[in-house]
Structure 1
Amino acid sequence: MPTQEQMKRALQDYVDGFAAGDAAAITALFADDAVIEDPVGNPPISGRAAIEEFYANAVAGGAKLTLDGPIRGSYGDGAAMAFTVEVPGMRIRVIDVMTFGADGKIVKMTAYWGPDDIEQ
Structure 2
Amino acid sequence: MPTEQEIKTAMQAYIDRFNEDDLEGILSLFAEEATVEDPAGMAPIIGKAAITEFYTKVVNGKTRIHREEPIRGSRSNSGAMAIHIETHAEGSTLMIHAIEVMTFTDAGLISSMKAYWGPGDMENK
TM-score range, shorter chain: over 0.9
Report the TM-score, using the length of structure 1 for normalisation: 0.97
Calculate percent identity across the aligned residue pairs.
46
Amino acid at match of 1:112: Y
Per the normalisation by structure 2, the TM-score is 0.93
| Number of residue-to-residue matches in the alignment | 120
| Residues 20-57 of structure 1: CA deviation (Å, up to 9, x unaligned) | 01111111100000001110111100111111111111
Larger Rg: 2
Q: List runs of 5+ in structure 2 lacking aligned partners.
A: none
Q: Partners in 1 of 2:31 and 2:76 — Cα distance?
A: 18
Cα RMSD over matched residues? 0.9
Secondary structure in 2 matching 1:60: coil
CA distance in 2, matches of 1:28, 1:53: 14
Q: Distance in 2 between matches of 1:63 and 1:23?
A: 13
Asked whether the 8 Å contact 2:21–2:61 carries over to 1, the reply is no
Match of 2:74 in 1: 74
Runs of 4+ in structure 1 off by over 3 angstroms are none
> 2:11, 2:76 → 1: CA distance?
15
